[in-house]
């Protein structure tokens, strides 16, 4: 049975859906509800892409899938459910492209999604984690799934840090890639985009001297010069942060899953991790670099029917230490 619901309820659901993660926090998802509120169309904003870093569009599609899952979770707390996504090609919205349409349904026995509780607490933590205790390690081991393989132990995490830094630098050292990365980096609160989108200094855990070093080393006009003396590499290095984590986590869905469905599952996995008291940070370079992927597939014994879609570091940190990433206003999300 379908049902209508108010514009205010639609706005609230979309705001909650917007808390889903997106690559570099570009927030490509846009929404339109039918006049009677019985269905919704997911669009993608054409000006929010990463054509260099995400040439295949996998990360963009995964981001849209995560947003769709976010709306499904939000609707569940309102006594509604979201039907399966159906390809949509005919809808028109300025600056957007339609992706999927789904029915909004009122089930006879509605139940809130158990992950809804954790949407507001799910955040990335990109700083150094406190040392994990044995109880934390046991909780992390319990998170292992067929599509989530753990990397545990000091030596393996140190090796992951070396691999990741090499993978990240092989990408960031390319001028076009770094210029695109810089476009979505916000280092100073006076930047008018700081509370809208992208990766802020707070969310990157850059404070004090680290923020100053980043402001000197990362602008494209100085990046190559600073790289010659090793400063750019030091600012971008995540090896120490990776070593501090309780675990690395390799997300390896089935190869047959679409990027959209991978994004849906990745968001739920992240919420499951949040629900047991941990924070994570994406390490996308490790998933995007072919040599690093191959090394991780061997280390984690990833079966051939699965692929590495992303890599995370996982640890426990107080919520108050984790910055909340910015989000666009709901008026920009509804088209």
Summarize pLDDT for 17-69 with one digit per residue, the tens: 999 999 999 999 999 999 888 999 999 999 999 999 999 999 999 999 999 99
DSSP 12-41: HHHHHHTTS--GGG---EEEEE-TTSSEEE
Residue 235: phi, psi to the nearest 5? -65, -40
- Residue in 325, 316, 264, 287 with CA at minimum distance from that of residue 149: 287
CA pair distance 168, 301, nearest whole angstrom: 23
- Residue in 241, 273, 272 with CA at minimum distance from that of residue 126: 241
| pLDDT recorded at residue 4 | 61
| pLDDT recorded at residue 40 | 97
| pLDDT recorded at residue 2 | 47
C-beta of residue 270 within 8 angstroms of C-beta of residue 255: no
Structure tokens at 43: 């669009």
Residue ranges for the chain with pLDDT beneath 70: 1-4
CA pair distance 226, 274, nearest whole angstrom: 37
- Residue in 66, 39, 234 with CA at minimum distance from that of residue 58: 66
| pLDDT recorded at residue 36 | 87
| pLDDT recorded at residue 261 | 98
- pTM, two decimals, is 0.96
Q: What confidence tens digit (pLDDT) does each residue in 171-194 have?
A: 999 999 999 999 999 999 999 999
| pLDDT recorded at residue 3 | 54
Cα-to-chain-centroid distance, residue 6: 29
Q: What is the mean pLDDT of the chain?
A: 96
Q: Roughly how many angstroms between the first and final C-alpha of the chain, as a whole number?
A: 25
């Amino acid at each position: 049975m379908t049902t209508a619901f108010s514009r205010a309820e639609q706005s609230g659901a979309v705001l909650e859906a917007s808390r889903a993660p997106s690559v570099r926090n570009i927030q490509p998802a846009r929404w339109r509800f039918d006049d009677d509120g019985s269905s919704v169309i997911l669009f993608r904003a054409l000006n929010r892409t990463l054509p260099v870093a995400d040439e295949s569009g996998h990360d963009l599609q995964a981001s849209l899938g995560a947003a769709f899952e976010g709306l499904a979770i939000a609707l569940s707390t309102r006594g509604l459910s979201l039907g399966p996504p159906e390809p949509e090609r005919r809808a028109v919205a300025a600056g957007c492209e339609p992706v999927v349409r789904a029915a909004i349904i009122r089930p006879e026995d509605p139940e809130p999604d158990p992950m809804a509780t954790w949407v507001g607490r799910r955040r990335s933590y990109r700083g150094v984690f406190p040392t994990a205790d044995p109880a934390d390690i046991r909780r992390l081991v319990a998170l292992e799934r067929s599509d989530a393989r753990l990397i545990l132990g000091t030596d393996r995490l140190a090796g992951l840090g070396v691999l990741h830094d090499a993978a990240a630098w092989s990408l960031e050292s390319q001028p076009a890639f770094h210029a695109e990365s810089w476009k979505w980096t916000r280092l100073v609160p006076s930047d008018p985009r700081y509370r809208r989108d992208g990766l802020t200094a707070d969310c990157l855990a850059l404070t004090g001297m680290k923020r100053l070093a980043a402001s000197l080393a990362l602008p494209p006009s100085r990046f190559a010069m600073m790289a010659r003396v090793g400063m750019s590499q030091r600012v971008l290095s995540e090896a120490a942060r990776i070593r501090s984590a309780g675990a690395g986590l390799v997300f390896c869905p089935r190869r047959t899953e679409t990027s959209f469905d991978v994004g849906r599952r990745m968001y739920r996995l992240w919420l499951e991790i949040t629900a047991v008291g941990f924070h994570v940070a994406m390490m996308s370079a490790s998933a995007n670099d072919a040599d690093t992927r191959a090394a991780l597939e061997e280390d984690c014994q990833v079966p051939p029917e699965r692929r590495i879609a992303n890599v995370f570091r996982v640890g426990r940190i107080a919520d108050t230490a984790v910055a909340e990433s910015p989000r666009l206003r709901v008026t920009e999300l509804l088209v």
